[in-house]
Amino acid sequence: MNFIKSLIYTVGGFVAVLGIVVLLTVFLQHLRKGSAEEVLMGQRATKAALEKIQERPFTTKLLEFTRELSGIFSWKSLRGTPVFPQVHEALKNTALLTTISLALSLLIGFLFLFTAEIYPKTQIFLDRLANGINTTPIFLLGIFLIWLFAFALRLFPAGGDQSTRDFILPALSIALKFGSRLFLLLSQYMRELDTKVFILRARAYALPSQRIFFHKLANCVMPFIIFWLIETASLFSGAVIVETLFSIHGLGSLLIFSLLQYDIHLLFVNLTVIATIVYITSLLQKELGKWQHTGRI
């Protein structure tokens, strides 16, 4: 019975998310009156034809779009190309960017954390550095990295998505912020663990600082996992800026393109993919939070 309720809740939540995406997509279409049709008409458009398009109410467009959903897998963009292959290709690039960003974030966050633990005098400096990076807009970090590593040092390309090497700088732009947030979060948990009995006992037995660090780190696994699940939405918002800045054909840049072109079919599929990923991660975060609260993890 609990499984059925959970399944109904999950499916119902996804349907609600899908409904919100539909409303948002049609609203964006309605905001720019007759955008897609107007583009297709081009110079052949007459004043009467444009007025007829612009007079169509929101509810009419919503019903028409809802009816079109049955043929979603055969949708084409305004350029006449299939929508799903475009989104699939963009998703692969975003997934690669996210994976590299995650790896670099772990490296930066744990490096800061290990340094602060082994050398306590660096704690204040690292806290200030992490706070400074965390409050810096991501596009400024990206521009600085382009100037430093692409133009000054000429170590990495300034943009593109043809090879894994092209993703290093954009991933580093994201990783600097998320690694700093990870350090600030886990360092707070580390300080709280210093008052626990098993840590006090370990220090009393004069265990090496490195060993105590890994003992404390093992108790931060769940906060770390929940942190990354919560930050998924922020990761995508950062990807929109970074992909545009570094000319990466990912979900973020595709979303900007579809918005500028008012390509409704491409916009809807893109938003649906992003919303689905965020929804799944939010469910995982919620379930992990429950298990942690009940002591099952």
As to burial, measured by CB atoms within 10 angstroms (0-12 exposed, 13-18 middle, 19+ buried), residue 55 is: exposed
Rg (alpha carbons) of the chain, rounded to whole number: 24
What's the pLDDT at 289? 65
Residue pLDDT tens, the chain, 297 long: 676 777 787 888 888 888 998 888 888 777 765 444 454 444 444 555 455 555 667 788 888 888 988 888 898 887 788 999 999 999 899 888 888 888 898 899 889 988 988 888 898 999 999 999 989 988 889 899 999 999 998 888 888 888 888 999 999 998 898 899 889 888 888 888 878 877 778 777 777 877 887 777 777 777 777 777 777 666 766 677 788 888 888 888 888 888 877 788 888 999 898 888 888 877 877 776 666 555 444
CA-to-CA distance for 105 and 182, rounded, in angstroms? 8
Read off the amino acid at residue 5.
Answer: K
pLDDT score for 268: 92
Which pTM was predicted? 0.80
According to the model, what pLDDT value does residue 132 have? 93
pLDDT score at 200:
78
Does residue 98 sit in helix, strand or coil? Answer: helix
CB 241 within 8 A of CB 297: no
* Maximal C-alpha separation, the chain: 87
Specify whether the CB–CB gap between 289 and 226 falls below 8 A.
yes
Q: What is residue 43's predicted lDDT score, i.e. its pLDDT?
A: 47
Cβ atoms of 240 and 259 within 8 Å: the answer is no
pLDDT of residue 46: 53
What is the identity of the amino acid at 233?
A: A
